[in-house]
């Protein structure tokens, strides 16, 4: 696909992605406000299909969100209020790959629509430990969108961030969605291609094998989640 065609398709993908997140946030807020367990997700008709590997988000994401919210509502009479959260969306990405392209456009588009989005640029408080600041931002976000690009696994920071995102998904009901940006989900899941090269370097330079296994586990789990496959677009 030539660069002109890519320039035409990417804005469409951005808008589709934006609309989906916006509707997810509306669903989330509606269930918290009404405390209803019978939200009818059938009224929403969004389906993204482009290849056999691309997930049907209408049939897989929305029921999952509904099920998760219903579980939260029914599990406690004092469910958390929106004041628990500082951000609607946390963006995890490899800066060298997408900061000035995909991530930049997505960040501004989300915020323009009133969706409070966190990314690690100019927001970090001077003097505060960066890792602790990022972990706190993840914990106080409703959603995490992980943009998995070719050199994502090159960064130990990104891998630590991803491991914490998966931990919060499992322990705090954080909703996580991957974007496979110019990489195949299988490369992420099995650590092949650029991801395999990165892990070979990490294995040679890292003494703590447990950390390495935590990273592998996080990548395998994120690759198995419903998300967006933008490889080759």
* Cβ atoms 90, 136 nearer than 8 A: no
User: Which DSSP category does 173 fall into?
Assistant: -
3-state secondary structure of 54: coil
Catalytic residue among 60, 84, 135, 161: 161
- Residues 25 and 140: their CA atoms lie apart, in Å, by 15
Q: Which residues contact 73 (CB under 8 A, 6 or more apart)?
A: 31, 32, 35, 36, 37, 79
Closest C-alpha among 67, 58, 83, 59 to residue 31: 67
- Residues 216 and 121: their CA atoms lie apart, in Å, by 26
pLDDT for 50 equals 33
Closest C-alpha among 96, 158, 171 to residue 130: 158
pLDDT for 34 equals 41
Q: Which pTM value belongs to this model?
A: 0.69
pLDDT for 173 equals 87
- For residue range 108-165, what is the model confidence (pLDDT) as tens digits? 888 888 899 999 864 555 555 788 889 999 999 999 999 999 999 999 999 999 999 9
Note if 161 is an active site residue.
yes
Q: Which portions of the chain are predicted below pLDDT 50?
A: 30, 34-81, 122
Closest C-alpha among 70, 86, 9 to residue 38: 70
- Residues 185 and 225: their CA atoms lie apart, in Å, by 10
pLDDT for 51 equals 32
Closest C-alpha among 34, 32, 30 to residue 80: 32
User: Which DSSP category does 41 fall into?
Assistant: G
Closest C-alpha among 87, 67, 70, 75 to residue 34: 70
- Residues 224 and 41: their CA atoms lie apart, in Å, by 23
């Amino acid at each position: 696909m030539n660069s002109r065609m890519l320039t035409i398709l990417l804005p469409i993908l951005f808008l589709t992605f934006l609309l989906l997140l916006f509707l997810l946030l509306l669903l989330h807020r509606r269930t918290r406000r009404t405390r209803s367990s019978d939200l009818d997700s059938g009224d929403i008709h969004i389906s993204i299909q482009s290849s056999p590997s691309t997930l049907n988000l209408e049939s897989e994401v929305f029921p999952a969100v509904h099920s998760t919210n219903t579980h939260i509502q029914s599990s406690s009479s004092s469910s958390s209020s929106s004041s628990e959260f500082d951000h609607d969306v946390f963006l995890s990405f490899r800066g060298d790959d997408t900061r000035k392209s995909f991530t930049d456009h997505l960040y501004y588009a989300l915020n323009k629509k009133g969706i409070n989005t966190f990314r690690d640029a100019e927001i970090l408080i001077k003097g505060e430990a960066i890792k602790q600041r990022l972990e706190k931002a993840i914990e106080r976000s409703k959603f995490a969108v992980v943009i998995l690009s070719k050199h994502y696994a090159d960064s130990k920071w990104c891998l630590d961030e991803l491991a914490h995102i998966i931990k919060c998904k499992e322990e705090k009901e954080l909703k996580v969605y991957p974007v496979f940006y110019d990489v195949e989900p299988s490369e992420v899941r099995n650590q092949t291609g650029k991801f395999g090269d990165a892990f070979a370097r990490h294995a040679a330079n890292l003494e703590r094998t447990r950390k390495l296994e935590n990273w592998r586990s996080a990548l395998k789990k994120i690759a198995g989640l419903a998300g967006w496959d933008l490889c080759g677009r």
